[in-house]
Amino acid sequence: MPLSLYQTVKSVITVRQVGEMYGMEPDRHGMVCCPFHSDSDPSMKLNDTYYYCFGCGANGDAIDLTAKLFDLNPRQAAEKLIHDFGLAPDKPPANAIALPLPKRGLTDEQWADIAYCLRVLTDYLDLLHDWRERYKPASPEEPLDDRFVEALHMTETIEHLTDCVAFGTPQQKADAATQLLSGSYLLMLEERTDRLALAKCA
């Protein structure tokens, strides 16, 4: 059975090769400045089979990276890679390789909002995970600590909110962040987490 278009691309082209083809210059650790948010220090890792940005969370395979760079759908991205890497010599090369990278879909302010939401949510989530272990009752007769009860009640909700901001398309992340920032819930979480962290250090 012949390989599909996507299988053909993924079987012969690495994510790092894609990055280098389209102007990225990975260091010896495979790190590059992320083209999807304002990035002065390299925060995106190019592995053979996937990329991941530790700053904005962008991730995917070779086809996803190409699609995101040039605002293409997955099939167009796969076809572009086949053309640009010379895997289909009977077809003319795609001319998009000569084009500058498209502007980011989100503003720096939107990426900053996403990063802020993730920081507050993950800080609180870390606290909940700690409480769940640290204050679990040693026996059925022991009264439940309020922090253990809070961890039981809140962990699933905060994990869901974190997933909403961390995964999906950039626009979905931005929408989730906007919704979170529209009320006072996130600010309350940040103040409470910071206060508890200070008390722990005191």
Give residue 181's domain range. Answer: 108-200
Residue at 54 is within a domain: yes
- Domain end marker among 19, 52, 85: 85
Q: Are residues 195 and 126 in the same domain?
A: yes
pLDDT at 84: 85
Q: Is residue 101 part of a domain?
A: no
- Say if residue 125 is in the same domain as residue 167: yes
| In-domain check, residue 96 | no
Q: What does DSSP say about strands 44-46 and 31-32: parallel, antiparallel, or unpaired?
A: antiparallel
Residue found under tokens 């289909």: 88
Asked if residue 78 and residue 116 are part of one domain, the reply reads no
- Residues 6 or more apart whose Cβ sits within 8 Å of residue 2: none
Chain position carrying tokens 């005191």:
202
Residues 9 and 42 in one domain: yes
Do 31 and 80 belong together in one domain? yes
Q: Specify the pLDDT at position 69.
A: 92
Both 196 and 113 in one domain: the answer is: yes
CB 89 within 8 A of CB 80: no
27: CATH: 3.90.580.10
Structural domain total, the chain: 2
Chunked mean pLDDT (size 10), the chain, 202 residues: 64 89 88 88 89 90 91 87 73 43 66 88 88 88 90 90 82 89 88 78 55
Whole-structure pTM value: 0.48
What pLDDT is attached to residue 200?
64
Domain assignment present for residue 98? The answer is: no
Do 176 and 136 belong together in one domain? yes
Write the single-letter amino acid at 167. F
Confirm whether 78 is domain-assigned.
Answer: yes
